[in-house]
Structure 1
């Protein structure tokens, strides 16, 4: 069960693993377990708050570029801005369209689909999204400017490590 992998509250489990696998650095494993658990809690907390408005992180990845660019975007552009696949964008667009937050249209040459925010979508972005942005910002309220720089550098190192193990 997933909860059995929660080393955050029980360093004894880390030490047991280190005994069984002496080549594993217990501090690295402990730090990674804490990161995974915290990231999971942050993700779930953010998702829970967004769901109160029928939104998801995926929907924000579509809505924010539409709001920021203040023009229609194609599904391909939204996929590129969002860093997700075109099929993922399509399923999110379908839901947002059903909810009346966006609408599809065609561009001038009629070969490409254009995605627009509806009036309800614009209202959502101007009234509700600032609360979410503030919520995200408040997660790191205790950080100093130096903490932000240090944390970003550490996350970049983690990302580099992840890319390395993907190649191996």
Structure 2
């Protein structure tokens, strides 16, 4: 069975039926997307038994090394999410007993977020476990293969920053 999602197979099938020369490049791109999606799903499945999402896990890791706490707006900035998103994540973590919010004694408008003992325990243990799992995904990959894949992915990412201006979007989307 093809590991590609049906949406990718439909797009790829159309390109192949019409003899598009870029079909092989499209397949590789779709394989990268399918792999990223599979890793995301596996990550979510590994964190779910701990009542964590990837976003909550990131906040636990950020808070792990901040015994004096971090302000919610600073957590949002460090995690790369909006303040509204961080508020929802913090609400869930607080509800599950992983953190507490503390009001500033001098300025009640200010709040800092700190891990509870339960939060510190799970953050520390899961960080090690998660790192080992990520490393296991590359089991059997040689250092030179790793370097080659990394170089390829960086080149593709660079291509995103400098799109081909000579290919109109409509031509790509409606090519037959």
TM-score bracket for this pair, using the shorter chain length: 0.7 to 0.9
Q: Does 1:53 align with 2:73?
A: no
How far apart are the structure 1 equivalents of 2:162 and 2:96?
41
1:73 is aligned to: 70
Give 1:152's aligned residue. 150
Match of 2:166 in 1: none
> Is the 2:101–2:112 Cα contact (8 Å) retained in structure 1?
yes
The TM-score, its normalising length taken from structure 1, stands at 0.81
Q: 1:105 aligns with which of 102, 108, 112?
A: 102
1:86 maps to 83
* 1:136 shift after superposition: 1.5
Cα displacement string for residues 55-108 of structure 1 (whole angstroms, at most 9, x for unaligned residues): 110111211111134431111221121111111111100100000101111235
Unaligned runs of 5+ in 2: 164-168, 170-176
Gaps of 5+ in 1: none
Task: Please point out which of 31, 34, 40 is paired with 1:34.
Answer: 31
The 2-side partners of 1:99 and 1:15 are apart by: 46
Q: In the alignment, which of 116, 119, 122 is matched to residue 121 of structure 1?
A: 119
Match of 1:135 in 2: 133
Report what 1:4 is aligned to: 6
* TM-score, L = length of structure 2: 0.78
Deviation at 1:6, TM superposition (A): 4.5
Q: Distance in 2 between matches of 1:107 and 1:149?
A: 48
Cα distance per residue 1:107-147 (max 9 Å; x no partner): 35423210100011011122333212211121122222233
Indicate the RMSD between aligned Cα atoms, in angstroms: 2.7
Q: How many residues align?
A: 161
Q: Secondary structure of 1:150's partner?
A: helix
